[in-house]
């Protein structure tokens, strides 16, 4: 490749394990194509806090144990909400709280929760999804299987 010419396709995402809050933010920034670290951190903070409001104490504690301390504090910062929201309801509620559009908020949620899913692993994510109302699997980057009535 000639000097000064960049490839047309982005490089593959770093495959190193995510173990620190800074690494989470870099992963969120990369996956979400955010222009700055600050924008990635804003998305991470808002989504983690909102997710914490939707989880029971047991799942929240287990999930927090998979995260770096800074991310765990954000997840645990607010008490669980009184009403369980569907996946789409979660996105709409967060958009309303932050003044964002549903489309932008959906992007933020999907980006952050995909990183969380990677850190949680399949077993814990299965338990978390079983506790949440329908619609969250897609937000975590998984297909959602629905039984026929």
Total Cβ atoms within 10 A of residue 53: 20
Q: What's the pLDDT score for residue 4?
A: 46
- How far is residue 90's CA from residue 52's CA, in Å, rounded to a whole number? 11
**pLDDT at position 3, please?**
46
With CA atoms as reference, report the closest residue to 82 among 61, 51, 54, 46: 54
pTM value is 0.84
Q: pLDDT digits over 24-83, tens only?
A: 999 999 999 999 999 999 999 999 999 999 999 989 999 999 999 999 999 999 888 767
**Angle, to 10 degrees, between the axis of helix 102-120 and the axis of helix 37-54?**
80
Residue 95, pLDDT score: 98
Tokens of 20: 């620190």
Per-residue pLDDT at 148: 53
Per residue in 88-144, pLDDT (tens digit) is: 999 999 999 999 999 999 999 999 999 999 999 999 999 999 999 999 999 999 987
Q: What is the pLDDT of residues 7-24, one digit of tens each?
A: 333 444 444 556 899 999
């Amino acid at each position: 490749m000639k000097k000064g010419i960049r490839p047309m396709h982005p490089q593959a995402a770093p495959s190193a394990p995510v173990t620190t809050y800074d690494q989470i933010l870099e992963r969120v920034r990369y996956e979400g194509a955010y222009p700055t670290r600050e924008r990635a951190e804003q998305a991470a903070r808002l989504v983690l806090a909102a997710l914490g409001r939707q989880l029971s104490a047991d799942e929240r504690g287990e999930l927090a144990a998979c995260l770096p301390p800074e991310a765990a504090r954000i997840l645990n910062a607010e008490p669980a909400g009184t009403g369980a929201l569907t996946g789409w309801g979660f996105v709409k509620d967060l958009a309303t709280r932050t003044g964002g559009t549903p489309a932008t908020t959906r992007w933020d949620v999907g980006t952050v929760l995909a990183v969380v899913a990677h850190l949680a692993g399949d077993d814990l994510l299965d338990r978390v999804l079983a506790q949440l109302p329908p619609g969250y699997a897609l937000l975590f980057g998984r297909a959602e299987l629905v039984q026929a009535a």
